[in-house]
Structure 1
């Protein structure tokens, strides 16, 4: 990975997490991540920027429709359609309707969401542990672990073997859903006991470095990078209407009626849809189609975006 020009950086993450991670891991090429609570394959996604640059990893996402899209957009990733917690087995999962980022294993959070008008469905989903995931799918070196599971972050960390699996960087969502109150005290003792230092807070997440890599903290700014220091995918309008959108040139040649299904179409259907000479199985094409779809397939929740 080369040094980044912040002005040209296209962030996919909710709060610039990918940018700050890119500073910490600027010397890593084709690294490996573990993304617990992956969410949409592109929109508000912390690991997609790295996938674009040749990385791969483990993505845990219990919402079936969202998890399936990874197979189209990010085929190098190992996607596990399950929950991640302290033990293996099964657990209740409250899958939010429409606002998929509010899905949770905690009933109290689902009740708070319901009071705010966001309903959810209660499902039983398989649960695995971080240690089991890493033992089955991770290489010896894990460059970063990101955990965003709407209040159950401590449960995820409790399921790891910290002597065996030691990601260089750990990024934890550190504020409570809805209230935005700091709840890092729920999981900070686990990381401290495992030999990790709290080195950065971006207003939403806390970044931890293992003691062996504590020197990397010098690569971080004193304050979170300002919003206008980079571009953000969520700030663009529909790709076929917004000339500034990075995929406008392709989108204007596509039928907007299929935008919501771009990540679910079979290869034959994609070939028929794409302009002549644009291969459906080229990563650049897959990434572009995924970005075009984000305003239409639930990646970004917006009011009535019509084709």
Structure 2
């Protein structure tokens, strides 16, 4: 028997803009922690809505900071998300203030890692389209300029091959976002992906626990604030 489509059945369906439903997990955590205003810092924002861990919250009227080094992608972000602060740069992991940015034929694979860019090319289906000199900023720069009074609820990091390195520069003794979403899976086209276990250990060492994992990304939550049900931020 074929069941007819009945729109009313889907009235309570939740729409996700993330790659694998990460934004809905984040939304659940924020509500469980009684956080009413979800602010965000999106590192490697990529696209205003597609595969975005923050667009759901933008649509609800919240705002934050989007960091994206690709000038073409940033132009699109600025058009669609005018309330957000947009920073056309990368987050540095050394004292350097400029780095080479590899723009790939598949833009979701753009990276500051030359090794990753060449690994993608070696797969045979990707190519480096261009290499751009891009300014670098630090987490301290961003927090001092944009989150001086209160850290964001959410920090989302997706920087293709440098996620651990970038996350390691975030001083979690000084800044305590309630939720941190990080890409923890190395990209592969042969189903031979590798999880970066260093990230989970780093977060555990800093008092965060893995609330959810979508295989691609892991959502970490501040354990102390989770236990207290804090409304902060």
Q: Please classify the TM superposition score into its range, dividing by the shorter chain length.
A: 0.7 to 0.9
Match among 97, 108, 112 for residue 105 of structure 1: 112
Q: Give unpaired runs (5+ residues) of structure 1.
A: 218-307
The corresponding residue for 1:177 is: 187
* Rg larger for: 1
Q: Tell me, in whole angstroms, the C-alpha distance in 2 between the residues paired with 1:71 and 1:46.
A: 17
DSSP 3-state at the match of 2:91: strand
Is 1:93–2:101 an aligned residue pair?
Answer: yes
Deviation at 1:198, TM superposition (A): 2.3
- Superposition pairs of residues 132-147 of structure 1, within 5 angstroms: 132-138=141-147, 139-147=149-157
TM-superposed deviation, 1:7: 4.2
Distance 2:227 2:101 in 1: 39
1:176–1:183 Cα contact (<8 Å) kept: yes
Residue matched to 2:7: none
- How many equivalent pairs are there? 211
8 Å contact kept, 2:25–2:212:
no
Q: Distance in 2 between matches of 1:36 and 1:30?
A: 19
58-67 or 157-166, which moves further after superposition? Answer: 157-166
From 94, 118, 127, the equivalent of 2:126 is 118
**Do residues 51 (structure 1) and 58 (structure 2) align?**
yes
- Show CA shifts across 1:155-185 (max 9, x none): 2122222222111011111110114211132
Aligned to 2:216: 204
Of residues 87-96 and 102-111 in structure 1, the stretch that sits farther from structure 2 once superposed is 87-96
What TM-score comes out, normalization by structure 2 length? 0.83
Q: In the alignment, does 2:16 pair up with 1:11?
A: yes
How far residue 110 of structure 1 moved from its aligned partner, in angstroms, is 0.8
Deviates more, 1:145-154 or 1:176-185: 176-185
Distance in 1 between the 2:142 and 2:187 partners?
Answer: 26
| Contact 1:37–1:61 (CA under 8 A) maintained in structure 2 | yes
Aligned pair partner of 2:90 in 83, 86, 90: 83
CA distance in 2, matches of 1:74, 1:184: 34
Structure 1 residue 65, shift from structure 2 partner: 1.1
Report Cα offsets for 1:19-46 as digits up to 9, x if no partner.
1111001233332111111011011111
Q: Which one of the candidate residues 77, 83, 99 is aligned to 1:70?
A: 77
Partner in structure 1 of residue 29 of structure 2: 24
Q: TM-score, normalised by structure 1?
A: 0.64
Q: Contact between 1:145 and 1:167, CA under 8 Å: does it hold in 2? A: yes
> d(CA) in 2 for partners of 1:161 and 1:39?
24
Aligned partners of 1:45 and 1:131: how far apart in 2? 23
Q: For residues 179 and 80 of structure 2, what CA distance do their matches in structure 1 show?
A: 25
Match of 2:5 in 1: none
8 Å contact from structure 1 (residues 175, 184) kept in 2: no
